[in-house]
Amino acid sequence: MHRQTLATRKKVLRKEHPDTLTTMNNLTLVLGRQGKYEEAESMHRQTLATSEKVLGKEHPSTLTTIYCLAYHLANRRRYTESTTLYERACAGFKDVLGKDHPTTRACR
């Protein structure tokens, strides 16, 4: 279902549309849960690169993508890289949303 939605969004909205990026991020989470770790990581990184380019490095959606990649890497026991990404996401949420925002608090 997510793959079909992604294909449709890429066709109709294009690859760089924020809704397409959200769908890509959702698909990466499903792939990780299915044990398709390499595919999930590759798509996470692709989504992050596109999100940084289109939305900017401090956009909340970009920060969410960073957080999701960190989560994926932590599940793969790649703690050094995941910690760096978690710290980046949490610092970004604090700067953009404020220290008391629920998303910032959840990130901590």
Q: Where are the domains of the chain?
A: 18-106
Considering the chain, what percentage of its residues have pLDDT values greater than 70?
100
The reported pTM is 0.92
Q: What is the mean pLDDT of residues 58-84?
A: 96
Domain 18-106 CATH assignment equals 2.30.30.230: no
Q: Considering the chain, what is the average pLDDT of its residues? A: 95
Tokens of 78: 């790649």
Q: Report the pLDDT value the prediction gives residue 56, as an integer from 0 to 100.
A: 97
Q: Which of residues 107 and 54 earns the better pLDDT score?
A: 54
